[in-house]
Homo-oligomer: A and B are copies of this chain.
Amino acid sequence: MITSFAGESKHFLDEKSRLSIPAKYRRWLTEEDAEYTFVITKGADPCLIAYPAIEWDMFAEKLRNLSQFKKKNRAFIRTWSRNSIRLKCDKQGRILMPQRLLDFANIKKEVAIIGALNYLELWEPEMLKEHQESQIPLDDDYFEDLADIF
């Protein structure tokens, strides 16, 4: 069983737009990720997602099964791919964040890093707060549906 990410911590971009990935998340990567490679993409929510490269590769593998003959599939694959960047940590465990992605998530300096099972979410703290507050609370129906699974 692969150990899942968990927890939240607050970090800061330095002057060079580098983000230090907490050691505990780096350490949870499997052997294949020995070089600490992540794929960063734009999230469906206004945040960035950092997948361990191996996790992203598995997802990409699934996308290959989408038919190329459907226009929407092509569009989705295109959007997904162009927003994903493969980035390696430097020897200090930091990732140099592209400005384009930082802008998308409105990240200036402060970053909330959330370990969420098999990926990390990177949030501008204020955005995270607003987003969580504006959420429709998970209702009974949702948990009823979940109960079918668990």
Chain B residues whose C-beta falls within 8 Å of the C-beta of A84 in the assembled complex: 6-7
Interface residues on chain A, number (Cβ under 8 Å): 49
Residue from A56, A62, A82, A142 whose CB has the most chain B CB atoms within 10 Å = A82
Beta-carbon contact of A121 and B78 below 8 Å: yes
A interface, over-half SS = mixed
Chain B residues whose C-beta falls within 8 Å of the C-beta of A85 in the assembled complex: 6-7
Cross-interface CB contact of A6 among B3, B62, B75, B86, cutoff 8 Å: B86
Beta-carbon contact of A74 and B45 below 8 Å: yes
* Copy count, this protein chain: 2
- Residues from 49 to 65 in A contacting B, C-beta threshold 8 Å: 56-57, 60-65
Closest 9 CB pairs of A and B: A4-B60, A8-B82, A6-B84, A7-B85, A81-B116, A82-B114, A6-B81, A64-B117, A77-B116
Interface residues of A (CB under 8 A from B): 1, 3-8, 24, 39, 44-45, 56-57, 60-66, 68-69, 71-72, 74-79, 81-86, 114-118, 121, 132, 135, 138, 142, 146, 149-150
